[in-house]
Structure 1
Amino acid sequence: MRTLVLEEFGRMALADHPVPDAAIGEVLIRVAYTGICGSDIHGYTGHNGRRALGQVMGHESSGTIEGFGPGDHPRGLALGDAVTFNPVVLPLEDRLEFADREQHSPRKSVIGVDPTRHASFADYIVVPAVNVLRLADGMPVEHGALVEPTAVALHAIRRAGVTGRERVLVVGGGPIGQSVVLALQALGVAQVFVSEISPVRRTLLEEMGTTVIDPSAGDLLVALGRHGGPVDITIDAVGSTRSLADALACTVLGGTICLVGMGEPQVRLDAFAISTAERTLVGSFTYSARDFADAAALVADNPLTADALISRVIGPESADEAFTNLANGDDIPGKVLVAFAPTAEFAR
């Protein structure tokens, strides 16, 4: 089978590997689409230290079931089903203790991050059956690759305590920021603002029906003043010293900032902007199994928006060029998918 191997930082190459065998309790998935995540870009460049040379990355995926482990037939799954998978894998003995907070298991592994496991920039992948989620009837297979980033977004707004009545600012309008907007809109949040420097991303977000601010045009807080002033909650989908400074400045006293972006491993903070203003800063990483399932339903219920969030589909032979371009700031509005087995009706 074809795999995309990180041969050196800044270079990915196609390599042939045997199709993996599913063990007891596992499912073999024929990968259709895998999205390029911002963390994959940082791994490709070596920026975040969370990927290893020789690794096959990929964790935002969809495909079809090709096989089960010996003697297995997991309930609710059948050969040929269109599926996605939750990349957060727990050992069997942790599943009960960490139910609904699987991301807190100290022994978890994350498909696409764990260097010992070939992940889903490949024709096939094996995952535990408990992590496989059947897509809703009629849901386009390519939309299944949006479930994982939407789960990240949904978990972040839940960590921030969004109820639907707040004014919310999203700092960063890339694919995670866009997924946050989708989740906020589904929750019924009426006042959503996004800070985004890229003109093409601003256009996409405006088409989603949100208010978008160009932070390079002037002070972000001043710009927010033209829309009612500071917000109750800010979701930082960038994760840098600058983005956190903007988030703190634009959130009301006593408000909440959720850090979900991972742009910089270390950041500097104005401690007084947290302590004396009694703002709450919370972190958000991955999601629970419940978040993931809810995200799948959210994507299925919003097919037009999901389709708009996919900007480009490429073949595996073009992946290294795409990674290089994205790492160098290629201005793509939304998600780039690598198609290993594209559906006939979907091509961009």
Structure 2
Amino acid sequence: MHALVLEDFNTMTVQERPDPTAGPGEVLLAVLATGICGSDLHGFTGKTGRRVPGQIMGHETVARVVSVGDDVHGLEVGALATLNPVVVPEREAAAWAGREHHHPDKYVIGVRPDVVSAFAQLIVVPARNVVPLPTGMQPEHGALVEPVAVAVHAARRVDASAATSALIVGGGPIGQSLVLTLARAGVTRILVTEVDPARRDLIARLGATPLDPTSGPVSDQVRAALGDLADVAFDAVGVSATVADALSSTRLGGAVCLVGMGQPRLDLDAFTISTMERSIVGSFTYSSDDFRAAVEIVAGAPDIAAALISRIVPLSEAPEAFTSLASGDGTPGKVLVRMSAT
């Protein structure tokens, strides 16, 4: 098989690797396409220290079942599937169901360096992490389930279904996934701040109202658009300035969900939290319940899912795609790497 390898920081190469086989409790998947996540780009540049040279990354993926190991039932060979990258020890999987992301000994496929992940043509994963996709679903859309699961978990963290208005700070792929998720949850007025014009155009096509944060104070723009501040806000960037925008644009007693991780430390105006009784809530990855909900959301919105994908590149062009995206090439949505021709 061939795989996309982080040979060194800022250098990706396509290399040949041995074909894996599924052991007991495991499934062998033929990867069809894998999305390039922002965390993959940070790994590519070495920005976060969460990836290492020699690693095969990738966790936003869609695949077909090639074979199953002993003691695996309910997964048919040839079935279209995605994978939940959050893996807990098998002996504790049942006890931690619905809160897998809180397990202290979990690992994440695509992050753990010794696990061959979804930028390989063939991967072996625990059967309990394979999630079949509905019949008739456009295969490439399966690679969107993971980022939408991030959005589902964030929305649930602040009970967004009780809100009528929301502000999303940052219109990248997670911000875009939040638009889809919040609309499905019944939020009728969704605003998204984004500096890039191409992304603002995409946000508008998704049915949300784009705001340009460089054109004036975000809180003033939110008031102008809504007639009030937003019920809830999501920071999909995660730097001090964007958290400040989210806090100042959220109603008294409202909540801000911190999804982005742009900085390891933040400067906060404590008075905008305490005197206005606003809350900051963290959100990281998702539970298995969130992941299954994301499958339904993506499968139920094929037109929006298609709009979220900016382009699909063959494996041979993936190194160039990483370099281009890391340089800020202006791609508005998700870039997928086609790992297999079928």
TM-score, normalised via structure 2 length: 0.97
**AA matched with 1:57:** M
Please name the residue that 2:197 is paired with. Answer: 199
Please name the residue that 1:55 is paired with. Answer: 55
Q: Distance in 1 between matches of 2:319 and 2:170?
A: 25
- 1:151-184 alpha-carbon deviations (Å, 9 max, x no partner): 0000000001112433100001111100000001
2:116 to 115, 118, 125: 118
Structure 2 counterpart SS, 1:336: strand
2:24–2:72 contact (8 Å) kept in structure 1: no
1:164–1:190 contact (8 Å) kept in structure 2: no
Please name the residue that 1:66 is paired with. Answer: 66
TM-fit CA distance, 1:262: 1.6
The percent identity for this pair of structures is: 51
Q: Distance in 2 between matches of 1:200 and 1:175?
A: 13
- 1:81-130 alpha-carbon deviations (Å, 9 max, x no partner): 01100000010232133221110000100000111101000101111111
In the TM superposition, 1:78-157 aligns within 5 A as 78-157=76-155
Please name the residue that 1:294 is paired with. Answer: 293
- 1:285-332 alpha-carbon deviations (Å, 9 max, x no partner): 110001001100110010111011111100112112111111111111
**AA matched with 1:15:** Q
More displaced, 236-245 or 137-146?
Answer: 236-245
1:164–1:184 contact (8 Å) kept in structure 2: no
In the TM superposition, 1:196-345 aligns within 5 A as 196-227=194-225, 228-343=227-342
Aligned residues between the structures: 341
More displaced, 205-214 or 143-152?
Answer: 205-214
1:2–1:15 contact (8 Å) kept in structure 2: yes
1:175–1:309 contact (8 Å) kept in structure 2: yes
**AA matched with 1:10:** N
**AA matched with 2:186:** G
Q: Distance in 2 between matches of 1:189 and 1:124?
A: 39
Structure 2 counterpart SS, 1:163: helix
2:154–2:257 contact (8 Å) kept in structure 1: yes
Structure 1 counterpart SS, 2:160: coil
Please name the residue that 1:166 is paired with. Answer: 164
Unaligned ranges ≥5, structure 2: none
- 1:115-146 alpha-carbon deviations (Å, 9 max, x no partner): 11010001011111111111101001100000
Q: Distance in 2 between matches of 1:100 and 1:274?
A: 30
Q: Distance in 1 between matches of 2:300 and 2:56?
A: 31
**AA matched with 1:4:** L
**AA matched with 1:249:** S
In the TM superposition, 1:13-32 aligns within 5 A as 13-32=13-32
Q: Distance in 1 between matches of 2:228 and 2:132?
A: 43
**AA matched with 1:18:** P
Q: Distance in 1 between matches of 2:108 and 2:300?
A: 27
TM-score, normalised via structure 1 length: 0.96
Alpha-carbon RMSD: 1.1
- Consecutive aligned runs of 4 or more in structure 1 exceeding 4 Å deviation: none
Q: Distance in 2 between matches of 1:266 and 1:48?
A: 13
1:39–1:262 contact (8 Å) kept in structure 2: no
Unaligned ranges ≥5, structure 1: 344-348
2:163–2:232 contact (8 Å) kept in structure 1: no
TM-fit CA distance, 1:253: 1.7
Structure 2 counterpart SS, 1:333: coil
- 1:250-297 alpha-carbon deviations (Å, 9 max, x no partner): 111211000111222222222222222211111111100010011001
**AA matched with 1:35:** G
Q: Distance in 1 between matches of 2:267 and 2:19?
A: 45
Q: Distance in 2 between matches of 1:194 and 1:122?
A: 34
More displaced, 225-234 or 269-278?
Answer: 269-278
Please name the residue that 1:346 is paired with. Answer: none
